[in-house]
Every structure is written in structure tokens, then in C-alpha cells.
A and B are shown apart, each in its own frame.
Chain A
Amino acid sequence: MLAEKYNEIIEKAIPGTLKRLPEIKRAAEMVAEAVNRGKRIFVVDRYGVIDSEVAEKPAGLLLFRPLVNSGEKLMEGDILFLSSFQSEDEKDLEIVKEAHDLGAKVISISPDGQLAKKSDFGIIDLDSEMNAVLNVDRAELSFAPLSGIIHVLIIYMIEADTVERLLAAGKKPSVSNAEYMDEGATKLLEVRKKFASQGY
């Protein structure tokens, strides 16, 4: 029953992200503009959910890369996607401030609140609290998170829209392939080389 309830909620939440299409398209536009200026795109979140997901994920764009452990530093004009499950967290707000100090732009994906307001562009994940969508009598806290799934969905929708914009501008983005596919390791090396030389 709880499993069915979770399923019911997620089956509404996923198409619910289409309400954010205008924001998703605007974020993709910002990414495409940054690529045209030779800038880089990074992703960060404090729980290691979203930034781990985009790290050379098969079928994902190499353009979107994790900031943590990358050895790279944000520079002026770069874009940082900041995913947060909370809207007012001090540490997340600090990340925004530091990114701004370095001249980077921040696109946040979070619940509505201070984080979205302080970012250069805020995508509100959904209207309701998604860190825990199930609760039962006598349980102290709610459980069953949904926000990670929705944030990843939004990131990949932004990637998809970015691809259309880059292709329309005559730029062919590097898409990571699965290493276990036929000659996958060799092809992945080629994709990495292509990304290193063209920057997208």
C-alpha cells in the first residue's frame, strides 16, 4: 500500500516537471550561451546525488560535470548548477556567494525560498516537500524521498534542451557512451578527446 502510494505520487510528480519547461528552457539557453563564449558547466550538491549522477554517465553530456573532486576551479562566466533539497540551507547559500565571488553564475534547483532568490536563476523543483513523501501514524518522521529523482530528471531535461540548441548552432555535443557496449571503452576515449578539444 505504501509502495503503491509512492508510485502514485511519483507518477504525478514526473509529468508535473513539465510545468517547469519555461525555466528548463531558460536554463538550457543560459548553458548554450555560456558554451558559445567558451565557458564551462559544473554541477554540485552536498549529498553527492546529482553531481555523482552526471559524472560521465552513459547517454549524458560530458559538458555537465561535477565540481567536487574535479580539481577544477570556477571561473568568471562559468555556470554552476546547485541542487539542494532544502530552500534555506546556510551551506548552500554560502556556495552561491562563493560562486558569485568567482564571477560564476548559479542556477539552483531547489524548493522555493532564499536559495532560488539568491541564485542567478532558480528552478523550483515542485510545489510540495519532496524529501519525504510518505508518513504513517506514530512514525516520528516522514520517509521515502522523491527530490533526488526529480532533480536528476530536471537536469537531464535541461541537457536534452541544450542539445537541441547546440545542434541548431552547428555544434555537436559529446555524449558519453556505456563502457560495457561493443568497443565501448575505445569509443569513450574518443568521446573524451573530442570533448577536451572542443569544450562541449
Chain B
Amino acid sequence: MQKKEDFKEITSDIDSICDNKKYSRRDFIHSLSATSFGLFGMGAFISSCGKKEITVSSDLAMAYCKGVLDILKIVHEREFPTIRKAAALGIQAKMQGHFLFSKMVDGMLPGETSNSRPGMPNIYRTDKLRNAVRDDFIVTNDPYATHGLTERLIKVIGISKPSLLNKETPPKSLNNMGTFRIEDVSHLVIYTHISPEDGIVKVKGLEYPLGPVSGIIQSYVFHVLTAEIMEGLIKEGMYPKIG
């Protein structure tokens, strides 16, 4: 079992994880790979831990945590300009008396983005999405929810993993994703930079990667967008109710 001193070693690694390094796409792919090799590919990582007497059992949890942070930094670096543009549309819509809607589906997202969630500003309507009219604003990760709304000149902001193929995308992985992609129905797409499998830690002996990140990253994007909209509304003298 792990000794108490070993945990000090682990927590001392936090600083290196928290560094302010700027990440490029190459770094992103490297970081995904690094956290994805699991017991097989993390040989160097594990052997470096061996010197500090960190048992292997702490590594997957740590690799997952580090992998989440790496993706989050990529989203921060690459998507914040789009998030600001999206927020400007939201603020403009609200100031002109239009509704802001949200429709976030899958996993933690409906609960996490609900108006009854403690700490959640009540700026979005989560019901009657089909009643949205011209110049209303919708933020969603579900392309089907907004089918036909773009044609009604509603501002749709999509939050999604990229559906563009690249070398990280497994063959045929997009065949079953449906007729619509979020890009087909959105004015702006905020990408989450998540692999199609969702998991980020590959483990020898397991067929699928472990450790889903889509819920965490999409929630992060949603809260960042909401914070940006809130700031704009407050500047204009509007103080929305908070759940």
C-alpha cells in the first residue's frame, strides 16, 4: 500500500500540472496520447513514478485528472474567442427583449444546466424550444433539438465534439451519428476537443478507453458562456435571478 509520504510526492506534482504553459494542437495530441496509453503506453510515466515509489494503482486516476485539465486548457486557448462571440449574441438578444433558450442533453448536462441547480443563473428557458422565434438565442449540444430553427433566423450556438475527420478519429466512427451534425444547424460552434470515444485513458486489457470527459468539458463550456453573458447583462443593469 501507499505510504503517507508518497501522497506528498503526488501532490507535489500538482504544480507541474498547474503550469501556465501554452498548448498547441501538437501538444494536445501529445497530451491525449500521453494520458491514453494507460498501463501499456505510460511505461515511462510509471517508471518515473517508480523512482518516487508511487504505486501503479494511483496512476490511472491521476492520468485521468491530468487529461481533463489538458483538454480544458485547449478549450480555453482555442474556443474562448468563439465563446465571446456567442455571448455577445446572447446579450444582444436579451437586451432586445428576446428569449435565451438552452437544451443540453446527455449525462450530467440536463441537471447541471437546469434553472433549479443551485448557483445557476436563470437566464435560459429550458422548455418550449419549438416556440422560439426570429432572433431568439439557443445554446445546445443536440442538433436534432434545433432542426428547422436556423431557417427561422434563430441564433443557434452549438457545443460539440468536432465532427470533422482527422487522424484521431477512428474509421467509420461517424457513420451512426445521425443525419445532422451540430455544424449543420448552428451559427457558431464551440468545440470541446474530445475524441469520439469520449474516454481519455487507454488501459491494456480493456477494449474501450476509460474516463469520459464530455460531461465535464461541455458543462465547463456552458458555465463559461453563461458567465460571459451574465457579465454583459450586469453591465447593462440587468440582474437575473439565480437558482
A residues engaging B (CB < 8 A)?
Answer: 1-7, 10-12, 14-19, 21-22, 24-25, 28, 47-50, 52-53, 55, 57-61, 85-86, 131-134, 136, 138-149, 152-153, 156-161, 163-165, 167-168, 172-173, 175-182, 184-185
Contact = CB atoms under 8 A, between A and B. Distances in A.
A180 B176 contact: yes
A11 B14 contact: no
A173 B114 CA distance: 33
Contacts of A7: 76, 80, 224
A14 B65 contact: yes
A53 B213 CA distance: 10
- Between B14, B58, B114, the greatest number of chain A beta carbons within 10 A of the residue's beta carbon is seen for B58
B152 interface: no
Nearest to B239: A139
B227 to A, nearest CB: 4
Interface of B: 2, 7, 10-11, 13-14, 17-18, 56-66, 68-69, 72-73, 76, 80, 83-84, 87, 107-108, 110-112, 114, 116-121, 170-178, 196-201, 203, 205-212, 215-216, 219-220, 223-228, 230-231, 234, 239, 242
Contacts of A157: 61, 64-65
The 10 closest A-B pairs by CB, nearest first: A59-B199, A132-B119, A53-B108, A145-B119, A48-B111, A160-B60, A49-B111, A182-B172, A157-B61, A59-B212
Contact of A156 (B58, B207, B211, B224): B211
Contact of B117 (A24, A50, A145): A145
Given A7-B224, A139-B239, 20 more contacts: A4-B80, A6-B227, A11-B18, A15-B17, A15-B65, A16-B14, A18-B14, A21-B11, A47-B111, A47-B116, A59-B209, A60-B212, A143-B121, A144-B121, A145-B117, A145-B120, A148-B112, A149-B112, A164-B60, A177-B207
